[in-house]
Amino acid sequence: MNNLRTSIALAVSIFLLGCTSYPDSGSGGLGENHIENGFSPVMPDEPLGPEHGLRFDWQLTKLHLDSLIREGARWCFPAAVVQAIEKQNRIARELEGGLLLDAANDIVIQRKRLGELERQLDYVTSQANCAPPINEDAFRLQLSVVDELYKLLNVDNQFAFNSTEVNPKYMGHLAKAAYILRENPSFNLSVTGHADATGDELSNKKLAMGRAQQVKRYLTIFGLDPQRITTHSLGDSLPLYDGDSEGVKLTNRRVSIEVIATKELAERTPQGGYYALD
């Protein structure tokens, strides 16, 4: 991964140098590098605030993600890359909307995910090559399935206070997701339960695990093999938002679900994947 780290260092150096000048509109700058070109450039007489530091952090995570993609992460770990891109775009929208605490939390989560992805890619590329798919259309179809599942499973996923009961709207999402997953056996799920900050650490961890297990139970009822679902609990240690309002607490009482590509998918030649070095 020396090439990866060198690429990140070079990109960061170029970015830092670019911050000392103010190019004409359309010729460079942070605003030009935003995925949706929504960031406004920092003007010479503009006072710097916390949002500028977060935008810089966002740019660093984007450079990290771009470098991992160039190293082959898209081919070896397509599900992880799709979800990382989703998170990167979400952070950008939060920054544009002035939701600085939300953006800061999501940046922490994104850094952790990218670190895990880098370690996985490090291991794989030490023994194999990450190759692009032979059938690009089939590969893009798989990515669209990941994207649809991710959006289905991470919306309307909140729980009532001190409850593990799944709300009816989310139950409908789970039913649809289970059907899609039955048609796509190369994807598994990792379900993580969360709690708000009310109560002690041990109780919150138990409650959060109960929520993850309840989601697994319903997915199983809807026909998904339980062996394809792993459950985890983070208690109240990773809130989605900071604050103690009822709305924030409700949002933090949730499950977060990752779509995991199985090794069989990664090794399937038409879909790309990794192959042993000669």
What is the 3 state secondary structure string of 148-186? Answer: HHHHHHCCCCECCCCCCCCCHHHHHHHHHHHHHHHHCCC
Q: What is the tens place of the pLDDT at every residue in 148-181?
A: 898 899 889 999 999 999 999 999 999 999 999 9
CA distance linking residue 12 with residue 64, whole number of Å: 10
Identify the pLDDT of residue 122: 81
Residues 153 and 262 in one domain: yes
Identify the pLDDT of residue 264: 53
Q: DSSP class of residue 25?
A: T
CA distance linking residue 59 with residue 61, whole number of Å: 5
CA distance linking residue 216 with residue 177, whole number of Å: 12
Identify the pLDDT of residue 218: 96
Answer yes or no: is 176 within a domain. Answer: yes
CA distance linking residue 199 with residue 92, whole number of Å: 33
Q: What is the tens place of the pLDDT at every residue in 57-90?
A: 898 999 999 898 888 787 777 778 877 888 888 8
The model carries a pTM of: 0.60
Q: What is the tens place of the pLDDT at every residue in 197-249?
A: 998 999 999 999 999 999 999 999 999 999 999 999 989 988 877 778 898 89
**More confidently predicted of 33 and 154:** 154
Q: Which domain holds residue 65?
A: 50-130
Answer yes or no: is 28 within a domain. Answer: no
Identify the pLDDT of residue 270: 38
* 8 A C-beta contact, residue 127 and residue 101: no
- Domain of residue 260, CATH code: 3.30.1330.60
* 8 A C-beta contact, residue 181 and residue 223: no
Residues 171 and 221 in one domain: yes
pLDDT above 70: residue 266: no
